[in-house]
Amino acid sequence: MSATRSGEPIVADRNATSIVREFDFPRRTVFEMFTDPKKAAKWFGSPAGAITVLFELDPRPGGTLRIQDRWPGQPVHETSGTVLEVVEPERFAFRSTTALEEGAIPFEALQTVMLEEISPRRTRVVVVVKVLSAGSVPGGVEALLQGFQGGWGETFDKLEKELR
C-alpha cells in the first residue's frame, strides 16, 4: 500500500480536526487532482454508497465548489462552497456549507488542504477542517468532526485509487 495514515492530531482547536495521508506520487500530481475540475470530479466529494449527481469546481479564489450526491431512495444532498485560496502546488482552501436533510439548518466548515513534498515522488497531504457553525446537526461540532474524519478517510482512499 503506498498511502499511509496518521491519526495524530495537529490542531489544538476543539472545533477543528486534521486528517493526514501520504501518497507515492509527486506533489504537483496530487495538487492537480484537487484543482483540475475533470480530475477532481472522479474522486472528490460523494461518500461511499452515494452517487455523484453534480460536481462543479472553479479552482480560483472566489470560485465555487458545488457537489450534489444521492443515496439510493433518498433526495439529493448538496454541498456548496467558495474557494478561498489556491497556492500551487501547496495549498487549496475552501469554505463549505451543507444541509444534511431538507429544511435543516446547514453547517459550515473551513477546509484547508496542505501538500508537503517528502521526496520527489512522495507527498504528505494534511487536511485541516474547522467547523464554523454546526447548524442543526445532532451531536453538534463533535459529530461533525467525527464525520469529517471518516469522510476524508474515504476521500483519500478514492484519491489513491484514482492516482493509480
- The string of pLDDT tens digits covering residues 28-81 is 999 999 999 999 999 987 777 788 899 999 999 999 999 998 888 888 888 999
Per-residue confidence band for 12, with pLDDT thresholds at 50, 70 and 90: low
Could you state, in order of their start, the residue ranges of all structural domains in the chain? 4-157
Say which residue the cell 461533525 belongs to: 144
pLDDT tens, 96-114? Answer: 998 777 777 888 999 999 9
CATH code of domain 4-157: 3.30.530.20
